[in-house]
Amino acid sequence: MAGLQKRKNNKIDSTSESWIKAGKELNIQLIDVGNLYLKLSKDKELFNAIIPDGVHPNDMGHFIYSTIIINELLDKNFFQEEIN
């Protein structure tokens, strides 16, 4: 899929592509945290430090990922309620 960054683990890439495809087919919005992180930081040493096995984030990785998710939700006005 165009625009996807190459990750350390090709299995993650194919899984991510499957999630994105399914989301589009089912009209479900997805947040591809790994690719959003890669767009924010080109520092591969940091990426490897927060995701040491290439799949599972450590505590700092979870903090960074949660920040990315919150920002995406806020950017998309996910929490905005309609006022009557």
The structural domains of the chain, with segments of one domain joined by +, span 10-75
The answer to whether 7 and 57 are in contact (CB under 8 A) is no
pTM score over 0.85? no
Q: Which of 28, 2, 27, 32 is nearest to 16 (CA)?
A: 32
Q: What is the pLDDT along the chain (84 residues), one digit of tens a residue?
A: 333 445 555 555 677 788 888 989 999 888 888 777 777 677 778 878 888 887 788 999 999 989 999 998 898 887 776 555
What is the reported pLDDT for 3? Answer: 39
